[in-house]
Amino acid sequence: MTLDLERALDLLISLLPEAILSVWAMVLLLHAAWRHRDPRSQRTTGWLSLAGIAAAFVAAAWLWASGARLEGMATSMAVDQFRWAVDLIVLIGAALVTLLSLDYLDREGIRVPEYHALVLFAAVGMMLMAGGEDLFVIFLGLELMSISVYVLAGISRSNPASAEAALKYFLLGAFASAFLLYGIALLYGATGSTKLGLIGFQIRSLGIGTHALVLAGIALLLVGFAFKVAAVPFHMWTPDVYDGAPTPVTAFMAASVKAAAFAALIRILLRALPELQGSWDQVLWWLAAITMVVGNLVALSQRQLKRMLAYSSIAHAGYLLTGLVGGSVAGAAAFLYYLLFYTLMTVGAFAVLAFKGRGGERDVAVDDLAGLGETHPWLALLMTICMLSLLGFPGTAGFVGKWYILVSAIGAGHSVLAAVLVLTSVVSAGYYLPVIMAMYMKPRLHAEAHAGVSVPRVMRGVLAAVAVALLLFGVWPNPVMRAARDGSHAFITDRGVVPDSPGETPQ
């Protein structure tokens, strides 16, 4: 299906997932405001938000299946398979977090029906970031996402840690946004455009790849995005914010927020700045290496499960950055594959934590899971699968994802970085395996240790599906990898011919 954005109907079709979700979120706000005092309103709003997410998912899947593409040059929004792939991943994350929140909010006494509308607005911002072909569209998407997540982080008004998390995230997030906006201004000053395709054309045609404004703009953009993906040394906000925010919001930040920021960064690098790969490649190399090392080593010393998962997410930011190094289409495909299953295993792990804990789950230590395999065997099995997949254990989707990233890094000539990924993954066994050992090899701390753990029937089915997906696509990855390669076709124009396998570099 070819779309001409000069025609109103085609323009609406190209923005259909975002339009559906935006209108639905505004309707939900009215519903929440009208029935704000009704205790059942929050749960009703949650189910209605799931209906909106499902409608947007169907629209994005239809655009993907129909091969929607643009007639002519993209202006403000891309119309390609990469955008639809990231949209689907973001919507999956939003749906899982919404389902997890339904009972969590009631249990924790968080009576804010607008919560679910904020999740939808954040998802719209993420989708705009993933599909933005203009730096200002990407920035607007970033701000819509960020403002919504700032509020979500502090949504538990009775919890001082939640308010502290929101304040820290807001202050440091505004600081990072200033870097990003200044970088956009410098690139505009050097090239006369904020559209990614025109920036790349101007850099090639004018030969300004070494111009000070261009290099400074790239540096500031990388700082802004490094903050959003929690790359070292821009990660210091992550443990405290993840620790203080409600656990479903933490899962949302660790999975979907990171996905959107990485997707926007890939599009900028491969669409606007492919000619300057020598300028940003080494920066990403060091960011990836340092992030993997620091994230894994600091996670080893964590005893609280929530903070351990926070540092684990930092380490995984390093793994995802490894897929970007080299600027290959194969890396983009490996990124998409890993991102989907990273979302599933991250939300799955935080879901177990949410069911186990109370009061924000800040005090849940690894040893508090002792004996969970005896009292709640299927919940312990889910946590085991998520931990093994995060570790990259063979037979799980996490292993295949890391393998594809490794092959793409080696194919791009970065064998040392691939070795760092392997070694740091081995180190991560030091904090993933003790969780499994505690659940199966240690006795309960006391007889009533897991008496309060209760999982709703709907969530049981959803989490079972997550576990099956992590195992199934760990041994049968071809369908998802084929779809990921299709998604990376969006960058053929600037990067040459798409390779047949993740390890081959484009010619």
pLDDT of residue 398: 92
Tokens of 225: 């995005």
Confidence band for 42, pLDDT divided at 50, 70 and 90 = confident
Q: Which residue has the higher pLDDT, 74 or 362?
A: 362
pLDDT of residue 137: 92
Question: Which of 122, 192, 177, 128 shows the shortest CA–CA distance to 152?
Answer: 122
Q: How far apart are CA 168 and CA 162, in angstroms?
A: 10
Q: Is 371 left (phi over 0), alpha (psi -120 to 50) or beta?
A: left
pLDDT of residue 37: 64
Confidence band for 359, pLDDT divided at 50, 70 and 90 = low
Q: Which residue has the higher pLDDT, 102 or 363?
A: 102
The pLDDT tens digits for 296-327 are: 999 998 888 999 999 999 999 999 999 888 77
pLDDT of residue 73: 66
Q: Provide the 10 A C-beta neighbour count for residue 232.
A: 23
pLDDT of residue 2: 80
SS3 365: strand
SS3 244: helix
Mean pLDDT, range 327-353, rounded to an integer: 90
Q: How far apart are CA 14 and CA 376, in angstroms?
A: 46
Q: How far apart are CA 189 and CA 139, in angstroms?
A: 17
Residue 504 has pLDDT above 60, yes or no: no
pLDDT of residue 108: 84
The model's pTM is 0.92
Residue 498 has pLDDT above 50, yes or no: no
CB 232, CB 224: distance < 8 Å = no
Mean pLDDT, range 138-162, rounded to an integer: 91
Tokens of 49: 């938000």
pLDDT of residue 411: 87
- Strand stretches in 207-313, DSSP E: none
pLDDT of residue 217: 92
Q: How far apart are CA 36 and CA 39, in angstroms?
A: 8
The pLDDT tens digits for 48-102 are: 999 999 999 999 999 998 888 777 666 788 888 899 999 999 999 999 999 999 8
CA distances from 181 to 176, 195, 228, 267, 457 (A): 9, 14, 14, 17, 45
Mean pLDDT, range 456-474, rounded to an integer: 92
Least confident of 287-296, 320-329, 426-435: 320-329
Residue 33 has pLDDT above 90, yes or no: no
Mean pLDDT, range 266-277, rounded to an integer: 87
Quote the mean pLDDT of the chain. 87
Q: How far apart are CA 53 and CA 17, in angstroms?
A: 9
pLDDT of residue 495: 41
The pLDDT tens digits for 193-227 are: 889 888 988 988 888 878 888 999 999 999 999 99
pLDDT of residue 252: 93
pLDDT of residue 314: 94
Residue 36 has pLDDT above 70, yes or no: no
Q: How far apart are CA 240 and CA 170, in angstroms?
A: 13
Mean pLDDT, range 476-501, rounded to an integer: 69
Residue 507 has pLDDT above 50, yes or no: no
Mean pLDDT, range 385-407, rounded to an integer: 93
Q: How far apart are CA 228 and CA 150, in angstroms?
A: 13
